[in-house]
Amino acid sequence: MKKYAFLFPGQGSQSVGMGEDLYREYDAVRGLFDMAEEISKINLSRLCFKGPIEALTQTVNLQPAVTTVNRACLAAIEKEGLRPDVAAGHSLGEYSALNAAGVISDEDTFRLVHRRGELMHRESQKNTGAMHAIVGLEIDAVETIVARAEAQGVVSVANHNTAQQIVITGSPGAVQAASALAVEIGGKSIPLKVSGAWHSELIRGAAEEFKAYLDTVGFNEPQLAVIFNVTAEQESDPDRIRTIMASQFCSPVKWYDTIRRLVDEPVDVLVEVGPGRVLAGMLRKILPKDYPGKVYNVSNMKTLEKFFSENL
C-alpha cells in the first residue's frame, strides 16, 4: 500500500481561473463554494474565476478563496475514495490540512480563515510591513542577519521554505536593512508583493482576538497524522492543536523542517492539493536526490486525471 501525504498551499499560490473547471464538474465543489460565500459574504466564485487579480490578492479575500479551492481539490480526490495518511499545510494552508484530517469541519474551516483574513488585513492597515525572500543563505546566517537588523525596527523570519530560501518579515526599514546585510555576504533578496508583514510582531495586535475566536470552534482528534508549521511535529490532542494554531499567527512557518519530517516517515506520494505549484517547486529543492517518493500537484481537472491515472 502506498503512503500518501497531502500538502495544502497558502497565500502566494492564487491565480485567476483557479477552481473553475472543478466547479463545473462536481456538485460537491459547487456546494463548498456556496458554503464559503455564505460565511464570508464574498462572491468567491467570481473572484476566483474572473478576478481581477488585485482584488483576489487582498488577504481578506484571498484567505477564504485559496482555502475554498484547496477544499475543492480535496473533494475531487475524495470522490474516488482516496485519503491521505498524513497532511500538512503552508501557513494558511494548515487550515485545509486540519480539515482534511477531520480536526475542523468545512463550515468552521471557512469561518476561521475568513476571520483570520479580516484580522490580518486590519493589522496591515495599522502597521505598514514588508516581506523579502532571502535566497542562497542557510537559516543560521539569516537569523544572525535578522538579529543585527533588529536595531532598525521589527524584523524576523517568517518562512523557512527550503534550505536556502527563507522569507523575512517586519517593518520596511528593518527588512531592507536585513536584506542589504544578506546581499553583502552573498545572498539574494527578492521583495514580495504582500500587503502586510505576516508572521511578525506587527500583527500581534490581533493575536489574542484570533485566539479567542479559535476558542469558539470545536476541534476534534485528527483522523490522520498532521505535521504543524510551528513545531514541525505531529500533535493529536485537540486542545494542544488549538494552542498551536493560535501561536501560528505570529510564529515562523517551519516548512523545510516539516518536509524533512515527512521524509522520516517516509511517504511514497506527496501531493500538492490546491492552486499553483509553489509547494511542488519547494519539494524538489528539499527532497533528497535519491528520495523514491513521487510528487504530484492536483489543482484542476487535467492534473487530477494525471494523478488518478497513476495512483488508482
Residue listed under C-alpha cell 515527512: 262
Query: Rounded CA gap, 94 and 227, in Å?
Result: 9
In terms of domains, do 146 and 288 share one?
no
pLDDT of residue 76: 97
Which one of 194, 212, 247 terminates a domain? 194
Smallest CA-to-CA distance from 164 within 182, 146, 184 is with 182
What percent of the chain is predicted at pLDDT more than 90?
Answer: 96
Which one of 167, 194, 221 terminates a domain? 194
- The number of distinct structural domains making up the chain is 2
Residue 295: which CATH number? 3.40.366.10
In which element (H, E) is residue 44 found?
A: helix 44-50
In terms of domains, do 168 and 209 share one?
no
Pairing of strands 4-8, 269-273: parallel
pLDDT at 1 over 90: no
pLDDT at 103 over 90: yes
In terms of domains, do 157 and 303 share one?
no
Neighbour order of strands in the sheet with 165-170? 155-162, 165-170, 130-135, 188-191
In terms of domains, do 206 and 264 share one?
yes
> Over the Cα atoms of the chain, what is R_g?
19
pLDDT at 279 over 90: yes
pLDDT tens-digit series, residues 128-138: 999 999 999 99
Query: Rounded CA gap, 264 and 245, in Å?
Result: 23
pLDDT tens-digit series, residues 173-221: 999 999 999 999 999 999 998 889 999 999 999 999 999 999 999 999 9
In terms of domains, do 73 and 49 share one?
yes
Query: Rounded CA gap, 215 and 87, in Å?
Result: 23
* Average pLDDT value for residue range 12-31: 97
Residue 162: which CATH number? 3.30.70.250
What percent of the chain is predicted at pLDDT more than 70?
Answer: 100
- Mean pLDDT of the residues in the chain: 97
* Average pLDDT value for residue range 34-50: 98
pLDDT of residue 174: 98
pLDDT band at 265 (very low <50, low <70, confident <90, very high): confident
* Average pLDDT value for residue range 31-54: 98
pLDDT of residue 266: 87
pLDDT at 312 over 90: no
Cβ-based burial of 58 (10 A; exposed 0-12, middle 13-18, buried ≥19)? middle
In terms of domains, do 32 and 114 share one?
yes
Q: Would you tell me how many other CB atoms lie within 10 Å of the CB of residue 52?
A: 9
pTM of the entire structure? 0.97
pLDDT at 246 over 90: yes
Cβ-based burial of 142 (10 A; exposed 0-12, middle 13-18, buried ≥19)? buried
Task: Residue 184: give the domain boundaries.
Answer: 128-194
pLDDT tens-digit series, residues 129-166: 999 999 999 999 999 999 999 999 999 999 999 999 99
The one-letter code for the residue type at 103 is: V
In terms of domains, do 246 and 164 share one?
no
Residue 257 CA, distance from chain mean position: 15
What DSSP letter does each residue of 256-280 carry, written as one string? HHHHHHHHHS--SEEEEESSSSHHH
Instruction: Check: CB of residue 159 under 8 Å from CB of residue 199.
Output: yes
Neighbour order of strands in the sheet with 4-8? 225-226, 86-89, 4-8, 269-273, 294-298
Instruction: Report the helix count and the strand count for the chain, using DSSP H and E.
Output: 14, 9
pLDDT band at 41 (very low <50, low <70, confident <90, very high): very high
In terms of domains, do 106 and 32 share one?
yes
What are the catalytic residues? 91, 199
